[in-house]
Amino acid sequence: MYSLTAVLIGLAAAAGATFFPGMLNMTSVSVSLRAGRRAGYAFAAGMATTFTVQAGLAVFFANYFTDHPAIIPLLKEWAVAAFAVLAIFFFFKGYRGRVAEAAAEEQQYRGSPFLRGLVLALMNLLTVPYFFAVSGWLLADGYLAGDGLGRLGFTLGAGAGALIIFGAYARLAEWMQRKAFFLTRNINFLLGGLLMILAVVQGVRLCS
């Protein structure tokens, strides 16, 4: 019974990190619109795979992170650079899309959507500190069993939760396009702006 509880807790933790629109789920929308729903699902699966690994690292090595707290600030410093690079990438991608749109040329989606999703989620270095904080709190207060089975259940639940949320965004991409045309047409610029804000906020937090 406690294994099922661990899975549900992991699912809820992942949903808390992915439910609201952000870089990852809105990129899932973009992929689904450009390359089709199947590619969107593959992209979502790639991101969920990375989420599973990151959640597993956080919960299984929670004691290690506690004994070596200097690792967390290092991850946050790398996150600033990663967010800034991704912001520039999406701004350029949005500009290139506008040029192609003006020329009435359709761009084909290239590369494996699964691998792209996996790599993009891997660049979001704040996921590990998030799951570390959540799992550490749950373990300390006894909500999550500290044995291997409980930690494994949390990890699998986190992966399932991420897959459900990312997959839902890919599934609803066309509906979002109809209901929010401005959002989907300018999604790359919005993603770039969001990432730049995240980079600035994270940089300010590190300097304060």
Please provide the DSSP assignment of 172-202 as one string: THHHHHHH-HHHHHTHHHHHHHHHHHHHHHH
Q: Which residue has 């410093």 as its token pair?
A: 77
The distance of Cα 174 from the centroid of its chain, to the nearest Å, equals: 21
| CB distance 18 to 162 below 8 Å | yes
Q: Which residues of 49-69 are buried (b: 16+ CB within 10 A; e: fewer)?
A: bbbbbbbbbbbebbeebeeee
- State the pTM of this model: 0.69
CB of 66 within 8 A of CB of 199? no
pLDDT score of 109 more than 70: no
Q: What is the pLDDT of residue 103?
A: 44
How many separate domains does the chain show?
A: 1
Cα–Cα distances in angstroms (integers) from residue 107 to residues 31, 33, 101, 103, 114, in the given order:
12, 12, 9, 11, 19
Q: What is the pLDDT of residue 41?
A: 96
**pLDDT of res. 175:** 82
Q: Which residue has the higher pLDDT, 99 or 8?
A: 8
pLDDT above 90 coverage of the chain, percent = 27
Task: Provide the angle, in degrees to the nearest 10, between the axes of the packed helices 187-207 and 71-102.
Answer: 160
The pair phi, psi for residue 114, each rounded to 5°, is -65, -45
Q: Domain residues for 28?
A: 2-207
Residue 66, pLDDT > 80, answer no
- Does pLDDT of 170 surpass 80? yes
Which comes out higher in pLDDT, residue 69 or 133? 133
Structure tokens at 31: 């992929």
Q: Dump pLDDT digits (tens) for 71-107.
A: 667 766 766 776 677 678 667 766 665 554 444 344 4
Highest mean pLDDT among 49-53, 92-96, 127-131, 186-190: 49-53
Query: What integer pLDDT is reported at residue 142 of this predicted model?
Result: 76
Closest CA to 88 of 180, 202, 193: 193
Residue 58 contacts by C-beta under 8 Å, 6 or more apart in sequence? 65, 128, 129, 130, 131, 132, 134, 135
Q: Say if residues 195 and 87 touch (Cβ distance below 8 Å).
A: yes
**Placement of tokens 């699902």 in the chain:** 41
For the ranges 13-22, 25-34, 43-52, which has the lowest average pLDDT?
13-22
Confidence check: pLDDT of 185 > 70: no
